[in-house]
Amino acid sequence: MKTKLLFTISFLLFAAFIFAQNTIYGKVVDQKGKPVAGANIYLDGTYDGATSSETGEFSFETTEAGNKFLVVSFLLFETYKQEIDVTNYKNQTVKLRENINALDAVVITAGTLESGEKARVSVLKPLDIVTTAGSAGNIVAALQTLPGTQTVGEDGRLFVRGGEASETQTFVDGIRVAQPYGATTNNLPTRSRFSPFLFSGIAFSTGGYSAEYGEALSSVLLLNTQDEADHEKTDIGLMTVGLSLGNTQKWNKSSLSVNMMYVNLAPYQAVIPQNVDWNSPYQSLGGETVYRYNFTNGIFKLYASFDGEKFDLNQKNINFENPVRTDMNNNNFYLNSSYKGTFGTGWQITSGVSYGYSKNKLKYDITGIDSQENAAQLKLKLSKKVSNHFKISFGTDYFITKYNEDIADNVSIDVTNDYDSNIFAAYTEGDISFSKNLALKVGLRYSNNGLLNENNIAPRASLGYKVSKSSQFSFAYGDFSQIPVVDYIKYSKYHQFESEKASHYILNYQFTKPGQTFRVEAYYKDYSNLVQYDTKNIQYNSIFNNNGSGYAKGIDLFWRDSNLYENLEYWISYSYIDSERQYKNFPNMATPSFIANHNLSVVTKYFITDWKSQVGFTNSFGTGRPYNDPNQTQFMNGKTKSYNSLSFNWAYLLTTQKILYFSVSNILGTQNIFGYDYAKTPDASGVYQRQAVVPTADRFFFLGFFWTISDNKNENQLKNL
């Protein structure tokens, strides 16, 4: 009896407990008070909840009582969580904050051109480097189709917005590369040392970049190695210019990629008529490797590359009757190790060290120049996400450079020049998101240069404002300083140099739609403290000063579209620049020889499904560049004819894993002239004779077969994953 009663009571109690219902109702709105439809409203840990209606209203019943957490979640907004009293939650309004991390938040884009999966607006896609006609796998050549760059055919390096090539610094995983280019000499173009395949993201800043980066007056090129290898594979490449071999191994938490490449231009030089006389063709043997290890909260990466290059040629020189022989040998080693991880609440750490070693043995006529450079960088960066609206980062850097050269010509006494430079820098930067439409980044960089005995403080600021779903404005300002180039600084025993300086002002407008990007950027750059000297060539006994100055201003336009026609992608870059400088031994303000006022690149790629082929054309055009004619009284008065090169490539997929690739540059065979070298002394009739600076060959042909062997269908291998 007693038992029965208890049973009944307990059942009744239970039932009562179940059916004691409370109604919870209210409305979900965004920050502007507009109703949010489709939000999920529920009591945490229960089944009780509802989805908001078109008017943002919700209502549901619950058997819960007391205090519970009410959760409101929706894709575009920050999840809202608050403790409520279930019995008394009626007709309340929940205001959701927009999620700043959502993809359509404003991103400050002034000065920056990005590629890669992390980039929200990709200007270049990862494959573009390889598939842009005329680039031949050279990262720098592909970047030269973007606005703000100059095509300087006899040099091959990146010239950005009126800056010398040395004003651009390259960083791998955030750490500087001291020697990013291959060896070169007199008017022979160089290329980037880095193979595009190991990098997953490229950010190319043409100005106004973050306080994290220093010692660059014009531009930074940020290359990020892949965090993760795609899969185990072996890549084999057979090319008319050499061989390449790559292998990737993947383990549970780590992976290793190795690439080797041997280049020999002998077959190419034998087929294509050359404008110079090669004693021994360009040859290089290089390799690079990336090792990655994934920890629970971070990733460690080790990147190393080595290459040895040599060539020997005779070049005509206006000052000599017979061609002058140049024999070049270069060995380069680069090591970069970095760790990136998270700890605590919202902290992120990036640290790393790089070491670069370059040894050049150059024989020019009878003069031998042996030079060595050892360069290292240590870096530590911490950042903390304080909230979705504020992120702070700070860090420190240390650059060490040791340079030494010996010059011997068997006539005069041997000369040795060297310098040791240590630069310490620290910076801090704050990222503030006022809303999804307005973001600000402010930073400050301090540096101390031991060799120059100077301190620099460089403020940086940038602002992004989104005016509509698809368009936004950005503005950037920054002060930049950089130690003078080795040609000067090696004489620092004789003269106390100062850092060269630049200020950037950039205004950017960007319009994006799926498959379309349009951007226009106007900039003004103010150069000061540039090195000047008073002699024909830079010598130890030249009289130097840091009184040079200059400016660059211009407009860059970029349009990329993949919607016009199916399987067709194209982009157009146009840059207008007006720049003058008084530096080096310029007698007055003048436009330097590497600047063409108008540059236009048109890149097209078309995939032909029936042929399993991708064909591409790239046309680069630049107006004439100035040169100095000593026969005329006015300095830098000459102007070359304009430059044009039309390149073509064709990639044919034999199967998924076998690709046949063909490319040819300058199909039309345009006789391009980069400038003129004038004789140092006038001839008998008082005229300075000249010689045109031309490419080593008018065309470049390339044929390659690339084969990827991957056994990721093999189950036995996969068990190791």
Partner 1 sequence: MTKIITVITLFICSLLSAQTQFEQGMGKAFGLWKEGKNTEASAMFERIATAEKNSYLPNYYVALINTTSAFSEKDKTKVDLLLTKAQDALDTEIIKDQANSELYVLQALIYTAYVVADPMTNGMKYSAKVMEAYAKAKVLNPNNPRAVFGEADYQLGGAKWTGVDTKPLCAQVNKAIELFGTFKPETPFSPKWGLERALETQKNCK
Residue 46 found at the interface with partner 1 (CB under 8 A): yes
Tokens 């965004």, residue located:
30
Residue 314 found at the interface with partner 1 (CB under 8 A): no
Indicate which single residue of 535, 585, 637, 712 sits in contact with partner 1 (rule: CB under 8 A). Answer: 712
Residue 125 found at the interface with partner 1 (CB under 8 A): yes
Residue 562 found at the interface with partner 1 (CB under 8 A): yes
Residue 54 found at the interface with partner 1 (CB under 8 A): no
Q: How many CA atoms lie within 13 A of 339 on its CB side?
A: 12
Residue 1 found at the interface with partner 1 (CB under 8 A): no
Distances (CA, A) of 647 to 91, 154, 175, 286, 365: 68, 17, 33, 27, 35
Residue 297 found at the interface with partner 1 (CB under 8 A): no
Question: Shortest approach of partner 1 to residue 713 CB, angstroms?
Answer: 7
Residue 721 found at the interface with partner 1 (CB under 8 A): yes
Residue 75 found at the interface with partner 1 (CB under 8 A): yes
> By the 8 A CB rule, do 241 and 268 touch?
yes
Residue 84 found at the interface with partner 1 (CB under 8 A): no
- Interface stretch with partner 1, choices 67-75, 251-259, 363-371, 579-587 (CB under 8 A): 67-75
Residue 155 found at the interface with partner 1 (CB under 8 A): no
**Integer Cα distance of 499 and 446 in angstroms:** 13
Indicate which single residue of 514, 537, 588, 685 sits in contact with partner 1 (rule: CB under 8 A). Answer: 514
Question: Shortest approach of partner 1 to residue 642 CB, angstroms?
Answer: 33
Residue 38 found at the interface with partner 1 (CB under 8 A): yes
**Integer Cα distance of 134 and 128 in angstroms:** 11
Question: Shortest approach of partner 1 to residue 388 CB, angstroms?
Answer: 15
Q: Which 603-662 residues touch partner 1, going by CB under 8 A?
A: 609, 612, 653-656
Residue 435 found at the interface with partner 1 (CB under 8 A): no
Indicate which single residue of 25, 64, 76, 538 sits in contact with partner 1 (rule: CB under 8 A). Answer: 76
**Integer Cα distance of 177 and 194 in angstroms:** 11
Question: Shortest approach of partner 1 to residue 71 CB, angstroms?
Answer: 8
Residue 42 found at the interface with partner 1 (CB under 8 A): yes
The conformation of residue 77, written as its DSSP 8-state character, comes to B
Question: Shortest approach of partner 1 to residue 134 CB, angstroms?
Answer: 20
Q: Which residues contact 374 (CB under 8 A, 6 or more apart)?
A: 355, 356, 357, 400, 401, 402, 403
Residue 102 found at the interface with partner 1 (CB under 8 A): yes
**Integer Cα distance of 461 and 333 in angstroms:** 36
Complex with partner 1: residue 71 or 426, whichever CB lies closer: 71
- Nearest one of 696, 597, 593, 600 to 645, comparing CA atoms: 600
**Integer Cα distance of 197 and 567 in angstroms:** 23
Starting at the earlier edge strand, list the strands of the sheet with 92-95.
Answer: 57-62, 22-29, 92-95
Which tokens go with 122?
């990709």
Question: Shortest approach of partner 1 to residue 663 CB, angstroms?
Answer: 20
Which tokens go with 169?
């610094």
How does 315-346 read in b/e, with b if 16+ C-beta sit within 10 Å?
bebeeeeeeeebbbbbbbbbebbbbbeeeeee
**Integer Cα distance of 583 and 357 in angstroms:** 30
- Number of residues counted as binding partner 1 (CB under 8 A): 49
**Integer Cα distance of 182 and 296 in angstroms:** 38
Residue 295 found at the interface with partner 1 (CB under 8 A): no
Footprint of partner 1 (CB under 8 A): 2-3, 6-7, 10-11, 14, 18, 38, 40, 42, 44-51, 71, 73, 75-76, 102-104, 117, 122, 125-127, 200, 230-231, 514, 562, 569, 609, 612, 653-656, 712-713, 715, 718-719, 721
